[in-house]
């Protein structure tokens, strides 16, 4: 859904292969998955803010109205292009507890289902429960972006989200479906059931015009946390009562996050890496999905996709093959460079892309297997974007990693914790 500053709302219909449509607005546009997210962003423009203000307000609202996809107990990354021409990455991916190690998980002999090639962890402890979460980065990252590149106060950008969390909102089909799908896995978590179910039942059906009273979801405890952050800044989250509540709950379930881990968290602000695609300049974040995106573009550079027609069978096949090869390498080689050696330069090299391109057949799907980049070496995420008339542009990706993260809701806060381990 794209919302313009003049109140124009454009919701793209189901894709039919007929091509692309344009959305034009005079002062600003915000693209998001929920109308309340776009409204929060555009409200900042009307208050005199810029695209960064709009994106941060939209991101906080996203934490409220898409609770399965992201939250202040999660993480993310923001890409900013300023009117001056400067490009910035704000990396607020979470950090493992200092005491974390591979030995904290027991491995089974079987493999995880799918094509990632990972050994299965005993009891799924790296996915579900208190040992699956890292120190959240969302609050610190959004606050850092606002302080450095925005013009409005933290209180101004947070209040729309806090108000909706307090008063509630109509549940859309995606959140309703996510609640239903996670009921079995998260039934053992009392706080998750209390916040998202009604008397143990799944009530949040998608709204239809036939419903006399649409189901609404509120989270007053989350609203209280948001307003505490608005008043006290990130320290209220990482060093105050909210952080204490996070540590207390995580450790109660066997997790390792400490007060020192919370207090030490800082987002990383840096310049993006440059790349090229068929004569176009591309900038990307090398530490996250940007490497996978750039690798995909390098593979596709050898084909003239535009001559094949938008949405054609030929073009779609090539994109699917390139994405599959890039993601196979992602799951094989990517990781936290603070802990593992990552062949990042090799993964985005043109020579390695040419090697992978040789594995693609035009007449059939190929095996999704990782390659060998070393010789070349020198469910759930949400996205939004905002742009203003001055030329400032912002893209945000936020996640809990899996739907509703690890299932742990911190008592007294309404915060859903990630499962980024």
Q: What is the pLDDT of residues 8-42, one digit of tens each?
A: 444 444 444 444 455 556 678 898 889 999 999 99
In a domain, 171, yes or no: no
Residue 383 domain-assigned? no
The dihedral formed by the CA atoms of 214, 217, 218 and 219, expressed in degrees to the nearest 10: 180
- 256-268 tens-digit pLDDT: 999 999 999 999 9
The upper half-sphere exposure of residue 393, i.e. CA atoms within 13 Å in the direction of its Cβ, equals: 6
Whether 79 maps to a domain, the answer reads: no
The DSSP H or E segment spanning 289 is: helix 289-300
**Domain-located, residue 289:** yes
Residue 164 contacts residue 65 (beta carbons within 8 Å):
yes
Amino acid 110: pLDDT: 79
Would you state the pLDDT for residue 46? 94
Number of domains composing the chain: 1
Count of all residues that appear for the chain in the document: 421
pLDDT at 174 (0 to 100) = 82
Both tokens of 32, joined, read 């998001």
Q: So what's the pLDDT on residue 1?
A: 60
Give the pLDDT score at 215.
77
For the whole prediction, is pTM greater than 0.95?
Answer: no
Could you please report the per-residue DSSP string of 37-48?
HHHHHHHHHHTT
Considering the candidates 296, 381, 382, 413, report the single residue annotated as catalytic. Answer: 381
* Beta pairing partners, 135: 95
- Residue 374 has a pLDDT of 53
pLDDT the model gives residue 164: 98
Predicted local distance difference test score (pLDDT) of residue 208:
61
Say which CATH number the domain at 288 has. Answer: 1.10.246.130
Residue 138 parent element (H or E): helix 138-149
276 in active site: no
Phi (first) and psi of residue 392, to 5 degrees: -80, 135
Q: pLDDT at position 333, please?
A: 86
- Which residue, chain included where needed, has tokens 């706080």? 191
Find the domain containing 302 and state its range: 275-376
Q: Is residue 355 part of a domain?
A: yes
Intervals of the chain under pLDDT 70:
1-26, 112-117, 203-214, 338-339, 372-380
pLDDT of residue 4: 58
Q: What is the pLDDT of residue 175?
A: 86
The whole-angstrom separation of Cα 211 and Cα 147 is 43
Does 370 fall in a domain? yes
Cα separation, 421 vs 408, in Å, equals 14
In this structure, is residue 304 part of a structural domain? yes
For 269, counting Cβ atoms within 10 Å of its Cβ (0-12 exposed, 13-18 middle, 19+ buried), the class is middle
Secondary-structure breakdown of the chain: helix, strand, coil percentages, each rounded to the nearest 5: 40, 15, 45
């Amino acid at each position: 859904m794209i919302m313009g500053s003049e109140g124009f709302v454009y919701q793209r219909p189901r894709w039919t292969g007929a091509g692309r449509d344009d959305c034009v607005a005079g002062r600003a546009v915000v693209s998001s998955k929920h109308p309340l997210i776009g409204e929060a962003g555009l409200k900042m423009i009307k208050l005199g803010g810029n695209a960064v203000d709009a994106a941060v307000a939209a991101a906080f609202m996203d934490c409220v109205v898409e609770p399965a996809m992201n939250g202040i107990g999660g993480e993310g990354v923001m890409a900013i292009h300023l009117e001056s021409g400067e490009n910035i990455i704000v990396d607020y991916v979470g950090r493992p507890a200092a005491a974390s190690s591979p030995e904290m998980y027991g491995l089974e002999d079987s493999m995880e289902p799918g094509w990632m090639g990972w050994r299965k962890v005993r009891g799924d402890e790296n996915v579900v429960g208190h040992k699956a979460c890292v120190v959240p980065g969302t609050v610190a990252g959004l606050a850092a972006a606002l302080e450095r590149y925005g013009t409005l106060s933290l209180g101004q950008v947070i209040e729309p989200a806090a108000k909706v969390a307090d008063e509630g909102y109509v549940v859309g089909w995606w959140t309703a479906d996510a609640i239903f799908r996670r009921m079995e896995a998260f039934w053992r978590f009392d706080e998750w059931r209390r916040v998202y179910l009604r008397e143990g039942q799944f009530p949040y059906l998608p709204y239809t015009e036939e419903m006399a009273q649409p189901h609404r979801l509120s989270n007053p405890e989350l609203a209280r946390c948001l307003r505490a952050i608005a008043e006290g800044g990130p320290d209220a989250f990482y060093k105050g009562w909210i952080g204490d509540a996070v540590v207390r709950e995580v450790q109660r379930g066997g997790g390792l996050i400490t007060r020192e881990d919370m207090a030490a968290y800082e987002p990383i602000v840096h310049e993006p890496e440059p790349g090229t695609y068929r004569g176009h300049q591309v900038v990307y974040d090398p530490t996250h999905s940007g490497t996978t995106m750039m690798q995909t573009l390098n593979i596709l550079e050898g084909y003239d996709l535009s001559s094949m027609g938008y949405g054609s069978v030929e073009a779609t096949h090539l994109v699917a093959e390139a994405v599959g090869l890039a993601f196979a390498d992602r799951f094989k080689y990517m990781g936290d460079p603070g802990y593992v050696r990552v062949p990042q330069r090799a993964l985005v090299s043109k020579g390695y892309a040419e090697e992978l391109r040789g594995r693609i057949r035009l007449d059939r799907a190929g095996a999704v297997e990782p390659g060998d980049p070393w010789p070349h070496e020198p469910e759930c995420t949400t996205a939004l974007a905002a742009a203003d008339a001055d030329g400032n542009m912002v893209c945000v990706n936020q996640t809990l990693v899996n739907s509703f993260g690890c299932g742990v809701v911190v008592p007294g806060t309404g915060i859903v914790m990630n499962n980024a381990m």
